Amino acid sequence: MQASETELMLKGYGLTTAEIYYRMPDYRSVINTFVWQAYDLAPDYPELFRFIEFWQQSLDGPLHSVRFTHRKLISPGDWRHVVKEFRLH
């Protein structure tokens, strides 16, 4: 069973975006780009490294470089449980 995005964010996952530069299999002098996004855990990034290993083992285009960024969308200070709300005029 796969967790929802909200459950992942509450467990500390953040959105990781990687821009992958790779060489074309038939034209090694041509570099192309591929953008990958997934929820991942910093600082180890297991999902990103699993994808890079898959790329190196299964795809023909050799990697040139990978540039990535990570952003936690929910931090501890942003989420709180509210039981009641009072409004004063």
For the chain, domain boundaries: 5-71
Q: What is the pLDDT of residues 34-55, one digit of tens each?
A: 999 999 999 999 999 999 999 9
Smallest CA-to-CA distance from 37 within 10, 76, 64, 73 is with 73
List, for residues 58-76, the tens digit of each pLDDT value: 999 999 999 999 988 776 5
**Given this model, what pLDDT does residue 51 score?**
97
What pLDDT is attached to residue 80? 65
| Predicted local confidence at residue 2, as pLDDT | 72
How does pLDDT run across 8-28, given as a tens digit for each residue?
A: 888 889 999 999 999 999 999
Residue 23's identity, in one-letter code, is R
Which letter does DSSP use for residue 4 in this model?
P
Read off the pLDDT of each residue in 78-84 and give the average, rounded to a whole number.
68
**Whether the predicted model's global pTM rises above the 0.85 cut:** no
